[in-house]
Structure 1
Amino acid sequence: MSSKVRIGCVGAGYWGKNLVRNFASAEGAELAAVCDADAKVQARVRREYPSAKVTGSYDELLAMSDVDAVVLATPGSSHASLARQALAAGKDVFVEKPLAQTVADARAVTEEAARLGRVLMCGHLMVFHPAFQRVVELVRSGALGDILYIYAQRVNLGKIRTDENALWSLGPHDFSMIFELIAEPMESVSARGHAYLRPGTEDVVFVNVAFKSGVMANVQLSWLDPHKHRSLTVVGSKKMLVFDDTHPTEKIRIHDKGFDRPQEYHTYDAFLTLRDGDILIPSVPMEEPLRLEVRHFIECVRDRKAPRTGGPEACRVVEALAAAEASLRRGGAPIIL
């Protein structure tokens, strides 16, 4: 490998162009090639990145000896197949979320990467958000006490997808964050949703996850909503926290709220006392999450280390999504895991 990690990006459209931009400018990386089937996209890439090879053939990109790692920003249905082809060609792989659309495919890709000794990383972007990283630190430090339950909202008016429903389009963001905070196994998953806009493609989905310890998580996903919410609320035994990614400056609010049990009480009403304390808004130095994610992948390839959002972590997200999908098809019946 050269002194720089030589990157081949596959897909340079709606989201892929952001990955191309970040890998092209990242320290320690070189944008060696870009593959896209759209001739107009190819022309744009040639103008913006004249030093990169541009092709419409994935096989041609995989055959390039000056490509060390492949970055996949293609439709979710293609992720597993394209990732396995790249691994077989001796490339390290960054694949956008979700890793696959079935648990079997996600595990197969993960096992193949391990067998071949290649780096496999999934683009669970929110895990690299500086504010969420602070949330992880606060939870793991015990500042909130024991986690009692979590709920997440990822709703807006649009962007409507035709290739996947709201669960698979939006859900990976929130499940990846929830699983960073809760390491224990899931016990059951249930989901209800409806396709109000396009038959067969749910645009509104509500998911409930029960963990073996009794911790609960609820995820609300929609592209048919009057509000834009991107929030995660963590309720602990000591304090409560809200991560609001839509707020321009106050991304995290820590609420000193809850109920205390006095050592002595003489009436039932005195068994619990309400605590409504201060709200702390910690300062969080911000940096573009995608830039941090790209930097992490480059470091993992260079240093041959396991990514923070590697195959095992991505498989867990796919397991939750697949269970929620199965529950949707059964009218909301819980899927026992």
Structure 2
Amino acid sequence: MSVRILLLGCGAFGRVHLRALARLGAAAEVRAFDPDAAMRGAVASEFADLRFAESVEAGLAWCDAAIIATPVPTHAALAEAVLRADRHLFLEKPAVETAREAEALARLAGTRGRIAQVGLYFRFHPKALALRALVAEGAFGPLHYLAARFSGLKRARGDSGALLNDAVHFADLLPWIAGAPVTQVFAQLADPLGRGREDLALVQLRFADGAIGLIEAGCVLPGRWPDAVVPGAETRKEVIVAGRDALAEVDFAAETFALRRGRHAPGPGGAWLPGHAARDASEPPAADPVAVVAAELAAFIDAVATRRAPEAGLASGAVAPARILDAARRSAQEGRMVELEEIA
């Protein structure tokens, strides 16, 4: 069965969605809407056969499901319109700006009986999937540290700061990998550009199992690799996971995966010495952004067809990370550790 999909928003990542949908072939029939005539023209030059809806309302009358890839402040209202039209929803990250908005959308999707999936890119990346599987099978033993860096030298988006644009990815991914929720957040935010948004964020985490974590995000730091989506940007997209029995470093921009098994053990003079093996030779496959988004959309289309709840639904994919980011804002404002219970 082909699903009729309306794409709302034809910016840089909207075009990645169009390429991913083209890669899926007959699984989806696609139309698009963007209020910007120049944006429509640019997209039409790349996708000659793409048809455009005359309005959001006309597109919703035609489609079975909608993808929202518009600026962040428009997400809540558009997502509500999609769900109230009884259409299924794929909502790009960050789903919405606050946990309260995320909770309202989750309730609405449940009331209307609609499939709603959040565009959590890294959950569908082969290297993140491999890392999570290793943690789940106990290869790391008890975890003690998870860290992520999503930063670089790039444009400061006009619709969001470092928390919503970058940190949101790993506010979702680290608990997902750990298999444990975050219980405490301490954050420091900075506005080095003086534009009224945090363009640098450091977020410390405490997980329910006792592990600690750190997220670095921002657009004013040195990058290491060319960004695969935004031309001219330099980026770092890295995750570290450390446990009693193994250590791992994943660089999503360079497509490297370094796993070392072993543990510290008592040695002479009371010292504890590392006994870790060389890097594991196994390497999860690489994936370009179009392939990862295609995997996300294939899962969404399957959920629509089968009416199975998506793994990256609104409760886990929107509410949970939004609560962490809400706690980060509160922590930075009040200068203290914030319990997640305070954000419930």
Scaled by the length of structure 1, the TM-score of the pair is: 0.90
1:117 to 103, 113, 119: 113
2:185 to 173, 184, 189: 189
Alignment-mate amino acid for residue 269 of structure 1: G
1:157 to 153, 160, 163: 153
- Whether 1:128 aligns to 2:135 is no
Q: How does 1:64-213 map to 2 (within 5 A)?
A: 64=62, 67-213=63-209
1:48 positional shift: 4.3
Unaligned 5+ segments in structure 1 are none
2:71 and 2:315 mapped to 1: Cα distance? 21
1:159 positional shift: 2.7
Q: Which residue in 1 is equivalent to 2:253?
A: 246
1:257 positional shift: 4.6
1:115 and 1:30 mapped to 2: Cα distance? 26
1:154 positional shift: 1.3
Alignment-mate amino acid for residue 41 of structure 2: A
1:247 and 1:20 mapped to 2: Cα distance? 24
Q: Which residue in 2 is equivalent to 1:309?
A: 312
Secondary structure of the 2:94 match is coil
1:178 and 1:329 mapped to 2: Cα distance? 24
Q: Is the 8 A contact 1:103 1:319 kept in 2?
A: yes
Q: Which residue in 1 is equivalent to 2:23?
A: 25
1:31 and 1:334 mapped to 2: Cα distance? 48
2:25 and 2:316 mapped to 1: Cα distance? 26
Change (3 A) 1:46 1:247: closer
Secondary structure of the 2:7 match is strand
More helix by share: 2
Q: Which residue in 1 is equivalent to 2:270?
A: 269
What does the per-residue CA deviation read over 1:189-243, in whole Å, with 9 as the maximum and x for residues that have no partner?
1110211113311111100111233111100112111233211000101111111
1:39 and 1:56 mapped to 2: Cα distance? 12
Q: Is the 8 A contact 2:132 2:178 kept in 1?
A: no
Q: Which residue in 2 is equivalent to 1:60?
A: 58
Q: Which residue in 1 is equivalent to 2:227?
A: none
1:185 positional shift: 3.2
Secondary structure of the 1:208 match is strand
1:51 and 1:226 mapped to 2: Cα distance? 40
1:227 and 1:14 mapped to 2: Cα distance? 20
1:276 positional shift: 3.7
2:278 and 2:149 mapped to 1: Cα distance? 24
Q: Is the 8 A contact 1:145 1:239 kept in 2?
A: yes
Q: Is the 8 A contact 2:143 2:211 kept in 1?
A: yes
Q: Is the 8 A contact 1:7 1:29 kept in 2?
A: no
1:5 positional shift: 0.7
Q: How does 1:209-228 map to 2 (within 5 A)?
A: 209-228=205-224
Q: Which residue in 1 is equivalent to 2:323?
A: 319
Q: Is the 8 A contact 2:175 2:181 kept in 1?
A: no
Q: Is the 8 A contact 2:31 2:52 kept in 1?
A: yes
2:83 and 2:246 mapped to 1: Cα distance? 45
1:295 and 1:153 mapped to 2: Cα distance? 28
1:77 positional shift: 1.4
Change (3 A) 1:306 1:28: farther
1:206 and 1:281 mapped to 2: Cα distance? 33
2:180 and 2:79 mapped to 1: Cα distance? 28
1:62 and 1:25 mapped to 2: Cα distance? 23
1:82 positional shift: 0.8
1:132 and 1:103 mapped to 2: Cα distance? 25
1:30 positional shift: 2.7
Unaligned 5+ segments in structure 2 are 225-235
2:39 and 2:208 mapped to 1: Cα distance? 48
2:161 and 2:284 mapped to 1: Cα distance? 33
Q: Is the 8 A contact 1:11 1:34 kept in 2?
A: yes
1:24 positional shift: 3.3
Q: Which residue in 2 is equivalent to 1:258?
A: 263
Secondary structure of the 1:63 match is helix
Change (3 A) 1:194 1:283: same
Alignment-mate amino acid for residue 275 of structure 2: R
1:300 and 1:5 mapped to 2: Cα distance? 11
Greater Cα radius of gyration, structure 1 or 2:
1
What does the per-residue CA deviation read over 1:1-24, in whole Å, with 9 as the maximum and x for residues that have no partner?
xx2011100001121111122223
1:328 to 299, 314, 332: 332
Corresponding residue pairs, total = 325
Change (3 A) 1:30 1:184: closer
